[in-house]
C-alpha cells in the first residue's frame, strides 16, 4: 500500500463504487459485507467505506450532511485526462479542463487538469503532467 491512502466515507456504497469503476479505478481488495473497497488508478489508491459500516468518527453524520470532505480536493496524477473526460461525458465539472503552469522553485510545472465531484461531493482533481520549463518572471 501507498504511504498515504485516503479513506472516504460514502452514503451509497454501490453508487460510489460504480462511479469510481466507471473512471477506471480497479478493486485491489474489498469486503462487500462491510461496504468497503480499496481501489487503485495507476499509482493512486483510495478506500471507500459505506455508512453505516464505516467509521465516521462523528455518529451524527448523515447523508444530509453532504458534501463530505468540504474544503479538500484530492489530486490524482494520470497519464492522460482524456479517458476520464470521456467516461464523465455530460457530468458537471467543478473546474473545467484547463492547462495550468505552477512555479516550483526555479521551474514551472505544467498540468492539464479538471475537478469533478464524486456522488458524495468529494472533489477529485485529475492531473495530467505536461512537463516543466524554466520559471519565467
In angstroms, the CA 63 to CA 129 distance is 35
Q: Cα 133 vs. chain centroid, distance in angstroms?
A: 27
Question: What are 78-108's pLDDT values in tens digits?
Answer: 999 999 999 999 999 999 999 999 999 999 9
For the chain, domains (ranges, CATH) are: 7-56+68-134 (3.10.180.10)
Question: What are 124-136's pLDDT values in tens digits?
Answer: 999 999 999 999 7
Question: What are 43-73's pLDDT values in tens digits?
Answer: 999 999 988 665 555 666 555 566 777 778 9
Q: Specify the range with the lowest mean pLDDT, choosing from 8-12, 46-50, 110-114.
A: 8-12
Average pLDDT over residues 26-53: 92
Please check whether residue 81 is in contact with residue 128, taking contact to mean a CB–CB distance below 8 angstroms.
yes
If you compute the radius of gyration of the chain from its CA atoms, what whole number of angstroms results?
Answer: 16
Amino acid at each position: 500500500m501507498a504511504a498515504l491512502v485516503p479513506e472516504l466515507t460514502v452514503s451509497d456504497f454501490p453508487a460510489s463504487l460504480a462511479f469510481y469503476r466507471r473512471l477506471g479505478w480497479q478493486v485491489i481488495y474489498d469486503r462487500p459485507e462491510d461496504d468497503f473497497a480499496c481501489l487503485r488508478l495507476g499509482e493512486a489508491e483510495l478506500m471507500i467505506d459505506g455508512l453505516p459500516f464505516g467509521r465516521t468518527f462523528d455518529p451524527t453524520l448523515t447523508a444530509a450532511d453532504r458534501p463530505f470532505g468540504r474544503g479538500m480536493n484530492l489530486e490524482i496524477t494520470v497519464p492522460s485526462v482524456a479517458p476520464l473526460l470521456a467516461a464523465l461525458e455530460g457530468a458537471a465539472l467543478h473546474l473545467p479542463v484547463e492547462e495550468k503552469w505552477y512555479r516550483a522553485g526555479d521551474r514551472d510545472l505544467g498540468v492539464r487538469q479538471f475537478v469533478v465531484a464524486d456522488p458524495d461531493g468529494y472533489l477529485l482533481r485529475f492531473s495530467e503532467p505536461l512537463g516543466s520549463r524554466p520559471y519565467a518572471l
